[in-house]
Amino acid sequence: MDTQILSGKVVSESVYDNLKPRIDKLLSNSIMPGLAVVLVGDDAPSQVYVKNKTKKFLSLGLFSETIRLNNDVSQEDLIGVVNNLNNDNRYHGILVQLPLPNHISNETIINAISPNKDVDGFHPVNFGHLAAGKPTFIPCTPKGIMRVFKHYNINLSNKHVVVVGRSNIVGRPISILTSLKRNDSNATTTICHSGTKNISYYTKQADIVILALGYPKFLKGNDIKEGAVVIDVGINRVKSTSGKGYMLLGDCDGSSIIGHASALTPVPGGIGPMTIAMLVENTIEAAEMELQ
C-alpha cells in the first residue's frame, strides 16, 4: 500500500496565506497583533521552540517579544510578570512556555493568564468552552491536527479514532474535537494512556490513530489495521552521533508504518509546523476582538 505523507509544512503555508488578508485588515485599523512569550530557565527544546515561534511572527510582520526569566524565579514573581502582561495592551496573546521548573505550578500560572489572551487554549475557561462543544481558543496542537484532516479531506464522521495519550495539551482536547457533533468531526473516539492494558488491541481497531504519548517508536506497523491514518504528535530527542548530538523521533516507527497506513504525518515536518501556525492564528483571533 502506498502511504500518503501528510505534510504540516504544506498545510501551515496555506494557513499563513489565508491569514494575510486578516492581518492586513488589522494593520489597516492600526492594530498590530502582539504575542508575549515567557521563557523560564534554559531548557534547550523550549528555547528552540520559542525561537521558531518568534521567527515566524517576525516573518509575518507581527509583534512578538520573549521575556526570559531565570530558572530560580519564584512563582509569585512569575505571576507578577503574567499580571503585567495581562494589562499590557501591546500583547493580544500570552504564552508561558512549558515545562516550568518543579517549584512552580503549571496550573497556577495558566490560571493567572487572562482567558482573552490565552492563545494556548489551556485556561479552564477556554477548556470549559471546548468541553461544552463551543470552543473559543483551541489548544494549538489539537487545532493543527484538525486542520491537517481538513486540508487532506480526511473525513472523521463515523470513523473510529483512537488517541494514545491523555494530556491536557494534546490527548484530551483532541479527543473532544474529534468527537464533537460537527461537520469536521463526529467520530467515535477512544482514549488510551499509560494505564491502558494492551494498547495495540485498540489501535488495531482504529481508522485513525493519534499518537501523543512521548515514547519514541512506540507504534509499529503490526499495531494498526491496514489502511489506517496515523497522526504522530511525538517529538522525542534521542542521542545521536550526528552534528547536533541528537535526532528527532516520533511516537511511531515510521519505517514499519509506511506500507501499512494509508497516510502518516512525518517527524519532523508534520504536526510541529502546525502548532506554530495555530498559535499565529489564535493570536490573530485575539487581536480581532478589538474590531468587535
What pLDDT score does 43 carry?
82
Model pTM? 0.96
Q: Can you tell me whether residue 2 is helix, strand or coil?
A: coil
Are 144 and 109 in the same domain?
Answer: no
As a whole number of angstroms, the distance between CA 196 and CA 218 comes to: 14
Are 102 and 58 in the same domain?
Answer: yes
Position 14 in a domain: no
What pLDDT score does 244 carry?
75
Query: Catalytic one among 97, 117, 223, 251?
Result: 97
Are 87 and 151 in the same domain?
Answer: no
Count CB neighbours of 209 within 10 A.
Answer: 30
CATH label of the domain that carries residue 51: 3.40.50.10860
What range does the domain containing 94 cover? 29-114
Are 160 and 226 in the same domain?
Answer: yes
Final residue belonging to a domain, choices 80, 114, 148: 114
pLDDT-above-90 percentage for the chain: 90
Question: How is 235-277 classified by DSSP, letter by letter?
Answer: -EEEE-SSTTSEEEE-SB-HHHHBTTBSEE--TTTSHHHHHHH
CA–centroid distance for 3 within its chain = 24
Query: Catalytic one among 117, 118, 120, 251?
Result: 120
Q: Can you tell me whether residue 140 is helix, strand or coil?
A: helix
Mean pLDDT of the chain: 96
Q: Which tens digit of pLDDT belongs to each residue from 32-90?
A: 999 999 999 988 788 888 999 999 999 999 999 999 999 999 999 999 999 999 999 99
Position 122 in a domain: no
Q: Which residues lie below 8 Å from residue 288, measured CB to CB, with a gap of 6+? A: 22, 26
| Residue 140 contacts residue 148 (beta carbons within 8 Å) | no
Are 143 and 249 in the same domain?
Answer: yes
Query: Catalytic one among 53, 117, 143, 159?
Result: 53
Position 147 in a domain: yes
Confidence of residue 241 (pLDDT cuts 50, 70, 90): confident
Are 102 and 204 in the same domain?
Answer: no
Are 104 and 47 in the same domain?
Answer: yes
Position 44 in a domain: yes
Position 9 in a domain: no
Q: What are phi and psi of 59, to 5 degrees?
A: -65, -25
For the chain, count helices (H), then strands (E).
10, 11
Question: Quick check: is 143 catalytic?
Answer: no
Mean pLDDT of 215-227: 96
- Say yes or no to pLDDT of 292 above 90: no
Higher-scoring residue by pLDDT: 238, 278: 278
Question: Quick check: is 53 catalytic?
Answer: yes
**What domain count does the chain have?**
2
Position 10 in a domain: no
What pLDDT score does 82 carry?
98
Question: Quick check: is 120 catalytic?
Answer: yes
- Say yes or no to pLDDT of 248 above 90: no
